[in-house]
A = this chain, B = another copy of it.
Amino acid sequence: MKKKLVKFVKDRRKMLGLTQEELAEKAGVGLRFIRDLEQGKETLRMDKVNQVLALFGHELLPVETKKLSDE
């Protein structure tokens, strides 16, 4: 199963050479939140996720779901 959001955050964070702790601080969220996010938890608060994505110049928006088969 997929997790585009998870992959996006992990990739971007490593791209910037940040630890989860540093990302948490920069984003203004708790370390636990970053962990949960990167672990694929889905019951996260939208605004908190957006706080993190904002660091990467991104935000959560409705995108067409094209789920033909997998990947």
Residues of A at under 8 Å CB distance from B? 4-5, 8-9, 42-47, 49-50, 53-54, 56-65
Copies of the chain in the assembly? 2
Contacts of A59 in B (CB 8 A): 62-63, 65
In the complex the two chains form, is B65's CB within 8 Å of A63's CB?
Answer: no
A25 to B44 CA separation, bound complex (whole angstroms)? 22
Q: Say how far A26's CB is from chain B's closest CB, in angstroms.
A: 16
Centre residue among A4, A9, A47, A61 by max chain B CB count within 10 A: A61
A64 to B43 CA separation, bound complex (whole angstroms)? 22
A23 to B45 CA separation, bound complex (whole angstroms)? 21
In the complex the two chains form, is A58's CB within 8 Å of B49's CB?
Answer: no
